[in-house]
Structures are given as C-alpha cells and as structure tokens.
Copies of this chain bind each other. A is one copy, B any other.
Amino acid sequence: MTGWLAIAGLGPGDAALITPEVSAALSEATDVVGYAPYVARVGAREGLTLHPSDNGMELKRACDALKLAAEGRKVVVVSSRDPGVFAMAAAVFEALEASRKWQDVAIRVLPGVTAMLAAAARTGAPLGHDFCAINLSDNLKPWPVIEKRLRLAADADFAIALYNPRSTSRADGFGRALDVLREAGCGGRIVIFAHAVTTAKERIETVSLKDARPEMADMATLVIIGNSATRRVGRFVYAPRRAS
C-alpha cells in the first residue's frame, strides 16, 4: 500500500460548498487529521480513523499526518475553508522542511472556498476590485507588522479581508485595527461582519467603519472592509470594477 497526504479544504461550512475533489479524497482516505471541529465535519465510516486535535497544534498535527502517510496510510488533513489561506498547508510544508525524512511522501493540496469568497458571495461583490487578505492574529507575527500592512492597504485603496479578527486571548487587536483604519481616513468605508457564513448560525452585519465596534467580531467572523468606492445597491454591497 502506497501512502499519500492530501491537505484539503472543507469550505466555509455548507456541505454544498465542498468540492467533489475533496469528497473523493475523503472517500479514499484511511485517516483524517485536523482540528477537532473540522474533523467532526467528516462522517465516521468503517475503515476510517479520525485524529482530532486541539487548536494551536498545527506543527504537531502536520508531523503526525506526514508520519502516517510515510507508513503507507492514505491521509487527509482537513482545514475549514481553503487549506492554503492561513491554514494547514503552510504548516505541513514547514514540517516537511524541518525534517526531510518525509521528502518522498506524495503530497497534494486540494483547494476550497475560502471564507472571504463565501462572505463576499453572501453580501454581493465586495472583492470585485483589487483587495488584500490579512490574518489579524499576532501569534506568529509582531503586531507592528499588522499595523503597517493595514496602513499600506488603506493607502493602496484595497478592499481588506481580515481573517481571525478576534479571540478571547486576543481581545484588543481588532479594536486597534479599526482605529488604525479610521486614522488612515477610512471612516466612511463600508464594513461587512460575516459570522459563520453558510452555516445555520450565519449572521451578517454591514455598517460604516466609523460605527464598527470590536465586539461585532469573534473568531468565526470574517471581516471585509470595502475600498473607497464600495457601495450599496439594495441589500447588496459591491466594489465597482472601474477605478479613477
């Protein structure tokens, strides 16, 4: 038996957004590895071993998955959304680089619908013009780097997707991020708070940046800050394709 490792994205929540490619990999797998809430989205079946783990265990999880694949297992590492955007794919390649003993493992990355695309779709087309994506967690990068990127993104007039805006252990950063953008002259921009999009708990709020409050976001929220031209039409929000 020849093992392999697939790093797969389960999409934002709705099973109708899981690609057939990912479903096929899951149906062939012998082992599923991932953060417990994502592993729980994969149905148990005969011959499939589930390996749920805690948050913050990304490198350990990546090593475990590589080890299983090297032993001949067919392993799917699951991320929610897309595995390549602030998720498990980078962690697997870090583990691979740190210990070349797994360099012959067959690895594939299976893309998914990342949160900002799902949030954009539910609200209109706020990413229809140039944009950027910033992970607001400062667990792995210094906060001043985040502030610098926010200022430059405002200056570039990008729409800005903010991943992981706020958690119980990082309660203050998001409020500071909103302040940075207001100081950069973005107070009039439209902000979308997209909570748990495409799930039963979906809740979407759209406000002006000057009225945005930190507590509108949690870890299940994807925040999109429009560019200077982003506008409403009926219940939708979109970024015009044309810029001057």
Contacts and interface: CB of A to CB of B under 8 A. Distances in A.
A130 B242 CA distance: 25
A153 to B, nearest CB: 7
A207 interface: no
Contact of A156 (B16, B83, B152): B152
Contacts of A157: 145, 149
Q: How many copies of this chain?
A: 2
B135 A129 contact: yes
Contact of A97 (B21, B231, B243): B231
Contacts of A93: 124-125, 128, 233, 236, 238
Q: How large is the interface on A (under 10, 10 to 19, 20 to 34, 35 or more residues)?
A: 35 or more
Interface string A134-174: 11000011100100110011011110000000000000000
Nearest to A233: B97
A241 B140 contact: yes
A19 B21 contact: no
A111 B103 contact: no
Nearest to A126: B84
Nearest to A163: B130
A94 B124 CA distance: 11
A85 interface: yes
Interface stretch (A32-40, A66-74, A114-122): A114-122
A18 interface: yes
Interface in A1-22: 11, 14-21
A90 interface: yes
A200 interface: no
Q: 5 shortest A-B CB distances, which residue pairs?
A: A90-B128, A132-B132, A89-B125, A141-B243, A93-B238
Interface of A: 11, 14-21, 24, 58, 82-87, 89-94, 96-97, 103, 107-114, 117-118, 120-122, 124-135, 140-142, 145, 148-149, 152-153, 155-158, 231, 233-234, 236, 238-244
7 contacts: A18-B19, A86-B128, A90-B239, A97-B231, A113-B113, A130-B132, A132-B153
